[in-house]
Chain A
Amino acid sequence: MTKHYDTIIIGAGHNGLVAAAYLAKQGKKVLVLERRAIVGGSVVTESFGDGFAVDSVFTGGSLRPDIVKDLKLPLPEVKEKPAFISLQPDGNHIALDAESIKRISEKDAARFPEFVRFMDKAASILDTAYATIMPRLPMNFGIKEGYGLLELGLELKLAGRKDMLNFIRALPMTAQELVEEYFESEIVKAAICAVAIHGSTLGPMGAGTGYTLIHNWMNRGGLAHKNVGKAGEITTALANAVKAFGGEIRTEAEVASIKIESQIAKGVILANGEEISANQIFSSADPKHTLLKLVGAQDLPPEFVWHTQSIKMRGSVAKIHLQTNGNHGIPAGTAVLAPSIKYLEKAYDATKYGEISEKPYLEVTTSGNTVSIHFQFAPYNLKHGNWNVEREKVENLAINTLAEFFPNLKSSIVNRKSITPLDLEETYGLTEGDINHGQLMLDQFLFMRPIPGWSNHKTPIDNLYLCGSGVHGGGGVSGAAGRNAAKALK
């Protein structure tokens, strides 16, 4: 007799664990199945050797405060205000705060507080939108599903007419256009644009990077990463909460397929052949993996399959983590190599041709002796070569580029670990290495995420729910997608 659960959650990433914790808290018998030996998914702090522990995919971040509160997680409110630094060839790196910006432009320094105020407001509006389960447009715009939108509309109204209009206007804009409305200095503009394209396969001249800027600002709580080196604490706390509420977590338990009878999910089949049944299956894996691999196109309606196939993944992020002897010389905070908007746009251009940026956008964070370099753009689909060969190229490119600013970097390195887009897929289960489970683009946003008509976490398979970053609320570390999914079950 196989074991039976109320809910099986596929994947112990932050969203899977958030959903699991909420359901377990409601008294449901919950089982979380994780393919890897450790929990965390993309929100994980891993050790790659003695004293070499890093946030391997997402840097730091924090859950929505209401989730921390609901689940009574021992995660203190983040008070730190780390620096966000634009690297300069002369070594006079410029931090983006009103005081430092004065060095390059009095005018920009004067406008900076208003920009921060608007971005904080825009981020809070987006945050509210992410907490709202979207109606399934266009067919289900009724009282039942549209009610959440009413609340959201009220929230937008409370935000003030001017900010609301500016928010809506900012979403489809290019990051370049948005920053040019505020600033004159190329250094300031480019550094902010770097945040807009971070994690996305888009350049700052691309439409919709206004939205990604607000999205990343919301996730970070500003320009700089917080809690660097502590991503794993989030998912560890969540895993503990799941267990405390009576849920089970099994690691090294890869789900090979979802068992379906008459378009109803009945359970899962593990890679080792073991079958486990449940009343509902929640998948925090990305929609493409869940629907095309774990379910399979053959059990899904053709139009639905077509839309699912069309979800844009296009990962182009590589991570290069370095263990050093401490003499790397890199300042604390978040440092970006973003000398100009055109530099960033050209770095992105390479992905269009399946090439690795020769002059990449880099973002560097440190945690003690470790240095983490976020490298863009390194496209999953390479025109020439493959990621087993190109890994070293990206590593050297990242280190050599950064070493121009920090001459002691190379000699300080004692160990390195790189994560290519292929690693993101194979090790972390991210289809095409897309850390957001689907690009954050305006056509994959709100009621169009994961696909049009299916924004309510449900699927054409009864009792199968999506709760990962690929659904609305997702992308980033907030946990909104996981919580919305748990709510949608009602």
Chain B
Amino acid sequence: MLNLNLKTTPFHERTSALCQPQNWRKWAGYFAAGSYEHTLDREYWAIRNAAALIDVSPLIKYVIKGRDAAALLHRVTTRNIHKMSVGQVFYTGWCDEEGKMIDDGTVTRFDETTFRLTAAEPNLRWLMMNAVGMDVEISEVTDDVAALSFQGPNTRKVLNKVTEKPVDELKYFRLMTNKINGVEVTISRTGYTGDLGYEIWMDAKDALPVWDKLMEVGGDYGISPVGILAMDMARVEAGLFMLDVDYTSASHAWIESQKSSPFELGLDWTVALDKPGYFVGRRALEKEKREGSAWKMVGLAVDWVGMEKLFGKVGLPPQIPGSAVRASLPVMVGNVQVGYASTSTWSPLLKTYIALAHLQKPYYEIGTDVRMEITVEHHRQYAPAKVVKLPFYEPEWKKR
């Protein structure tokens, strides 16, 4: 019989015992903890000040293996995979032939002919369509590989206490094999928070001993299990977007205008137009590069004083959302809408109301004054805001 139940991750035995509000979220067919406490403050500050342990097992994962594995990823993604070293991780988007984003994720090179690709949504058919005539084997390993995102300034210290080999030498976007509590793991210096952080990958059946060891040793360093709601706030501060929230995959957009190119999402640095050979969307991306993009994703910082005035008119202090808001908010210049914010959040660290916004040319230039819709006591108002550079927050220890 068809099983329509959401799956549980390999850490569920632990996470379900800790999840006080039982606010489970649906993530790629799995239960994912929204938060472990009733408010997000402690979890958010664990990311920024201590060590956050986030179950990211629902990430869709493919192992791509074979003589043409590099050629396949070179063809599908916008990065130059032939320049990738063994043990390196690339963040990348991938596009359709019109140069519009289908999904984004990371590519990890285990050896010359073996890679892992992570994705937000299923991409097997797309990968198979692109592998015609190639000597390559593609297998989905989402269920088989458990993953923990371990984020925050104290994570290196915790890892060094639990791993067989120290992680000090592990550079940003590199990968190492290691052991935690007797379990073979791979550790990549990656994450979705813009902080110092690691992602720990292990066989699903070995998941619990790794969790237990990290929680046990991490206690002295302020470790906290963290749900995806606090991570959502941190990723906006880091200027990181999310599929289906900040952009729509070209593979299921209803209309052309719902699609986004990597340039429009600020991924210029991932589009290797100088790489040799064909890759999907190359022609369209070359054209957009030449002609400029119609849209850009930028940061918006809402002006606190301006917001205070709007609330002041009805006799209230400014109201701020308690978590990231995944709703489209119109962005205006004068009385004309020039774009929209796709995720907005209060940044507890920056003490600013910030948003990821998509603005039309030429309003996406840094420093442009715009106004973003806010709701003041059931009335729509526009708070003054400024276009700022992404990320909003980048600690000097992120890459150090």
Q: Is residue A83 contacting chain B, with contact meaning CB distance below 8 A? A: no
**A298 and B97: CB pair below 8 A?**
no
Q: A263-B278, A263-B282, A263-B283 are in contact. Are A302 and B130 (CB under 8 A)?
A: yes
Q: A263-B278, A302-B126, A302-B280 are in contact. Are A297 and B132 (CB under 8 A)?
A: yes
User: Which residue in chain A gives the minimum CB-CB distance to B281?
Assistant: A301
Q: Is residue A240 contacting chain B, with contact meaning CB distance below 8 A? A: no
**B129 and A296: CB pair below 8 A?**
no
Q: Is residue A270 contacting chain B, with contact meaning CB distance below 8 A? A: no
**A298 and B75: CB pair below 8 A?**
yes
CB of B90 to closest CB in A, whole Å: 20
Q: How far is the CA of A299 from the CA of B133 in the complex (A)?
A: 11
Q: Is residue B134 contacting chain A, with contact meaning CB distance below 8 A? A: yes
**A301 and B132: CB pair below 8 A?**
no
CB of B51 to closest CB in A, whole Å: 42
**B126 and A299: CB pair below 8 A?**
no
CB-based A-B contact count at 8 angstroms? 35
Query: Interface readout for A292-335 with B: 1 if CB under 8 Å, 0 if not?
Result: 10001111111111100100000000000000000000000000
Q: How far is the CA of A299 from the CA of B75 in the complex (A)?
A: 9
CB of B80 to closest CB in A, whole Å: 15
**B75 and A306: CB pair below 8 A?**
no
CB of B74 to closest CB in A, whole Å: 10
CB of A460 to closest CB in B, whole Å: 8
Query: Interface readout for B123-138 with A: 1 if CB under 8 Å, 0 if not?
Result: 0001001101110000
User: Which residue in chain B gives the minimum CB-CB distance to A300?
Assistant: B278
Q: Is residue B71 contacting chain A, with contact meaning CB distance below 8 A? A: yes
CB of B136 to closest CB in A, whole Å: 11
Which among B96, B129, B277, B282 is the interface contact of A305 at CB below 8 angstroms? B129
**B97 and A296: CB pair below 8 A?**
no
User: Which residue in chain B gives the minimum CB-CB distance to A301?
Assistant: B97
**B contact residues around A263 at 8 Å (CB):** 278, 282-283
**B contact residues around A303 at 8 Å (CB):** 96-97, 129
**B126 and A298: CB pair below 8 A?**
no
**A contact residues around B282 at 8 Å (CB):** 263
**A305 and B132: CB pair below 8 A?**
yes
**A298 and B129: CB pair below 8 A?**
no
User: Which residue in chain A gives the minimum CB-CB distance to B286?
Assistant: A262
**A302 and B133: CB pair below 8 A?**
no
- Segment 100-148 of B: residues with Cβ below 8 Å from A: 126, 129-130, 132-134
Q: How far is the CA of A141 from the CA of B280 in the complex (A)?
A: 25
Q: How far is the CA of A300 from the CA of B75 in the complex (A)?
A: 10
- Segment 235-282 of B: residues with Cβ below 8 Å from A: 277-278, 280, 282
Query: Interface readout for B268-309 with A: 1 if CB under 8 Å, 0 if not?
Result: 000000000110101100000000000000000000000000
CB of B305 to closest CB in A, whole Å: 50
- Segment 246-265 of A: residues with Cβ below 8 Å from B: 263
**B278 and A298: CB pair below 8 A?**
yes
User: Which residue in chain A gives the minimum CB-CB distance to B127?
Assistant: A302
**B contact residues around A298 at 8 Å (CB):** 71, 75, 133-134, 277-278
Which among A297, A299, A302, A309 is the interface contact of B97 at CB below 8 angstroms? A302
Which among A292, A301, A304, A306 is the interface contact of B133 at CB below 8 angstroms? A292
**B contact residues around A292 at 8 Å (CB):** 132-133
Q: How far is the CA of A240 from the CA of B75 in the complex (A)?
A: 44
Q: How far is the CA of A306 from the CA of B280 in the complex (A)?
A: 14
**A contact residues around B75 at 8 Å (CB):** 298
Q: A263-B283, A298-B71, A301-B97 are in contact. Are A306 and B129 (CB under 8 A)?
A: yes
Q: Which residues of A contact B (CB under 8 A)?
A: 263, 292, 296-306, 309
Q: Which residues of B contact A (CB under 8 A)?
A: 71, 75, 96-97, 126, 129-130, 132-134, 277-278, 280, 282-283
Kindly list 10 other residue pairs between chains A and B, CB separation below 8 angstroms, not including A301-B280, A302-B97: A263-B283, A292-B132, A292-B133, A297-B133, A298-B71, A298-B133, A298-B134, A301-B97, A304-B97, A305-B129
20 A-B pairs with CB atoms under 8 Å apart are A263-B278, A263-B283, A292-B133, A296-B133, A297-B133, A298-B71, A298-B133, A298-B134, A299-B278, A300-B278, A302-B97, A302-B126, A302-B129, A302-B132, A303-B97, A303-B129, A305-B129, A305-B132, A306-B129, A306-B132
The 3 residue pairs across chains A and B that have the minimum distance between CB atoms: A297-B132, A297-B133, A301-B97
